[in-house]
Chain A
Amino acid sequence: MSEIENFLAMDGHGAFVWPAYGFAFLVLGVLLLWSLRELRSHERSLHKLRPQDPDAA
């Protein structure tokens, strides 16, 4: 078995370790993207309402 396969297999626990890390970064990623999108959309709305506002993008 190659070294990479060995690493991915995690001594037989790969089926538990990798989903755990995958899910962790899925959750963190979703929270990050969602929060950023919300901020962008609010910045755009504010820009439409009052372009000179310093908080508007």
Chain B
Amino acid sequence: MKRYFAVLLGILTAIGGFVDIGDLVTNAQVGARFGTSLAWVVLMGVIGICVFAEMSGRVAAVSGRATFDLVRERLGPRIGFLNLVGSMLVTLLTFIAEIGGVALALQLVSSVHHVLLVPFVAVAVWLVLWRAKFSSIENVLGLMGLALIGFAVALWQLGPDWGGLAAGLSPAEKPGAEGWATYAFFGVALFGAAMTPYEVFFFSSGGVEERWTAKDLGVMRANVLIGFPLGGVLSVAIAASAATLFLPAGVAVETLGQVGLPVAVGLGKIGLAIVVLGFFAATFGAACETGLSTGYSLAQYFGFPWGKFVRPREAAGFHLILLVVTVIAAGVLLTGVDPIMVTEVSVVFSAVALPLTYFPILVVANDPDYLGEHVNGRLANLLGVVYLLIITIASLAAIPLMVVTSMGQG
């Protein structure tokens, strides 16, 4: 019974934890401009994150060591450093966006400008990172993130033309006013948002924090293969509800308030309050995950004690990194930079950094010295190689598309 409860809890937190500020904003923007014609990218992204999260979770469970720890050892300090820099910068950018997202969510209920809320949010995030247990962070915020299911209910209440939404799933149904370059840019951004690098680092380091062993592989796979796809369904619901309300009205989504408006129209105040709670939980949870991920990656690369399972005094370097990145994030946001713009940039650069993150995982997951009988099978390698090709194309296309389309303006 306890084991079933653990599986259920893991799946629920994986669903609630899947969506972050990048998914919220990018899916709503895409829905408002392209309807459901880019939903196939979410599907591709979800399959990709499942493939690599399963690999990194398996590495953590079998070897008892996290990704960066092994990447440096297996591929050497130079490749490890390249992997560290690329992933760290993107994760830091995402961390800034998530803290900004928490401030934006609080602004919606307080009407206090988000810049004034940033210092309080930063202190709250740092306190949670310092004091809270790993399982509390993951479970409480992950379960609260389930409030975003409100988007799926709101979509049903908005009474869309279901046939039209289904017909719009084809790329051929892209609105005529939008160019193919803009379509491709948003496709890459959506892919970057779904496969953002911190998710696998957090997942594998979390496995070490929770002391997974080979016996936990089944639970881990259930979390990944059920939780993440259901999280992807939430992403599509966000896009579809934005498409239903905003596409006919010609509204482009540029604020978090707009992201929640379809829920307000569909469900009213209570539904909106639940979804705003979901905004808070999703962004706060992701802020904790990205903050921890920066600490994990640096500490694992340089080889000093890390993690929430170690006393703060014994992992002083790890906790110092958490403090420094929180101060950096707050400092950047206090300049008045728009958190939504930071989010847009972070998802594009996530796409750029994808090969740096995922190639080493594929290599380590094929090494019998670490994984023994649990090395990648044929299917995992086939999917891994196919996805490596796709993410390389997305990575190479991201910056040219960003320049050509002026960040998706067309």
To the question of whether A and B form a pair in one complex, the answer is no
Binding site for B on A (CB under 8 A): none
